[in-house]
Amino acid sequence: MAETLTATALTLKDIAREAGVSLATVDRVLHNRPGVRPDTVRRVKEAIARNSFQPHVAAAELARGRARRFAFVMPSGPNPFMQQIEAYLGEMAAWLSARRLHVEMIATDVFDAPVLASSLEALSGGYDGVAVVALDHPIVRAAINDLVDAGTKVVTLVSDVPSSRRHHYVGIDNIAAGRTAGALVGRLVGQRSGKVAIVAGSQGLRDHAERIFGFNQVMTAEFPDLDVLPVLEGRDEDDRSEQLLTRLLGEHADIVGLYNVGAGTQGVAKALSDAGRHDVVFVGHDVTALTRRLLLQGLMDAAISQNPGHEARAAVRVLLALARGEPILSEQEKIRIDIVMRDNLP
């Protein structure tokens, strides 16, 4: 039993002949270019549909000649997660080069809306596509929309700006991520009852706020025996997170669970360790050199992860598909919420 999943290969020329027009006209219709009589458009479209014709991407790519340029706008400053994304883009160098794709990294202060917005404005016209780790702010939204209007394909990366007209979001559903963290803390705490601490960067960041929301949802609904303490805002800094958590641990002897929403993991781990509270169920985000070590040590119990390699590659593939006018394999580009424990460390 054998079943073929693809159609036989026709060419533009075949379609042209069948529709009784020239190559160029088929090309125009294929790309919704103006200057074709509606009736002709219809005839050509019918011929295309009738044969379920797919233009050969390789030929199209070759003929257009021009290389494509993409920009990745990423936070400046040391952030292991972002560094991983950059590293994975670097690993793709040969792949990109074989496709005549140029990717540039542009570092900016993504937490400062006006700065980010002007960085985006500066890109206008120069790129076929832009991936941006974006703060959700009106001025940023406007900058994104301007890019889109100028014909640039835009994807938001890791952090979304849903109110903008960006073409795609590459990242996880942060509410679901928070829910997952909540379920893990609750389940791993087991029969014990007590208090649960949350350390976040800032509740002003959309992704952090969403995670906390999801976490609380699950805690309230499913683990009524656990008492969630007010959120500590560590600004993703190690020292500050450590100090705040150390104080909290001192005040509450019955803390049994901890959710670290953002970065500052080093500080959180230190506070826990110095207080000798190895029994606390500790769930955080992202697999980095540090969290990997903490998981192996057993100090950290689980990391919720959004595979940075997948995000980097998905962003490139989506920008490429958008630029080519190809459909996006949405299932492929969807970023999953990975639960990483010691034994399934990637």
Where in 7-46 is the site for a second copy (CB under 8 A)?
A: 7, 9
Q: Residues touching DNA: how many (CB under 7 A)? A: 28
Residues constituting the chain: 346
Among the residue ranges 51-59, 126-134, 283-291, 303-311, the one whose residues contact DNA (CB under 7 A) = 51-59
Q: Report if residue 290 touches a second copy, rule: CB under 8 A.
A: no
Q: Report if residue 37 touches DNA, rule: CB under 7 A.
A: yes
Tell me if 135 sits within 8 A of 113, measured CB to CB.
yes
Between 41 and 115, CB nearer to DNA: 41
In single-letter form, the type of residue at position 72 comes to F
Among the residue ranges 56-64, 158-166, 228-236, 251-259, the one whose residues contact a second copy (CB under 8 A) = 56-64
Between 271 and 281, CB nearer to a second copy: 281
In single-letter form, the type of residue at position 220 comes to T
Structure-token match 């900058």, residue found: 143
217 to 246: interface string for a second copy, x by CB under 8 A: -x----------------------------
Between 5 and 289, CB nearer to a second copy: 5
Where in 62-81 is the site for DNA (CB under 7 A)?
A: 62-66
User: Min. distance of Cβ 105 from DNA in angstroms?
Assistant: 25
Between 32 and 191, CB nearer to a second copy: 191
For residue 89, the partner it binds in DNA, a second copy, none, with Cβ less than 5 to 8 A by kind, is a second copy
Between 10 and 175, CB nearer to DNA: 10
Q: Report if residue 153 touches DNA, rule: CB under 7 A.
A: no
Tell me if 268 sits within 8 A of 301, measured CB to CB.
no
Looking only at the bridges linking them, the beta strands covering 302-305 and 338-340 are antiparallel
263: Cβ contacts below 8 Å, ≥ 6 apart: 79, 80, 81, 201, 236
Best CA proximity match to 142, nearest among 127, 163, 122, 126: 163
Among the listed residues 102, 235, 277, 292, the single contact to a second copy using CB under 8 A: 102
User: Min. distance of Cβ 63 from DNA in angstroms?
Assistant: 3
- DSSP of 221-264: HH-TTEEEPPPEE-TT-HHHHHHHHHHHHHH-TTEEEEEE-SS-
Among the listed residues 301, 311, 319, 322, the single contact to a second copy using CB under 8 A: 301
Indicate the burial class of 271 (C-beta count within 10 angstroms; 0-12, 13-18, 19 or more). buried
Between 60 and 328, CB nearer to DNA: 60
Distances (CA, A) of 245 to 201, 227, 274, 298, 304: 13, 16, 11, 19, 20
* Helical pair 23-30 and 38-50, crossing angle rounded to 10 deg: 90
Tell me the three state secondary structure of residue 132: strand
Number of CB atoms found within 10 A of residue 247's CB: 12
Where in 13-32 is the site for DNA (CB under 7 A)?
A: 13, 20-25, 27-28, 30-31
* CA atoms of 255 and 277, how far apart (whole Å): 9
71 to 90: interface string for a second copy, x by CB under 8 A: x----x-----------xxx
User: Min. distance of Cβ 38 from a second copy in angstroms?
Assistant: 26
Q: Report if residue 50 touches DNA, rule: CB under 7 A.
A: no
Q: Which residues bind DNA (CB under 7 A)?
A: 9-13, 20-25, 27-28, 30-31, 35-37, 40, 55-56, 59-60, 62-66
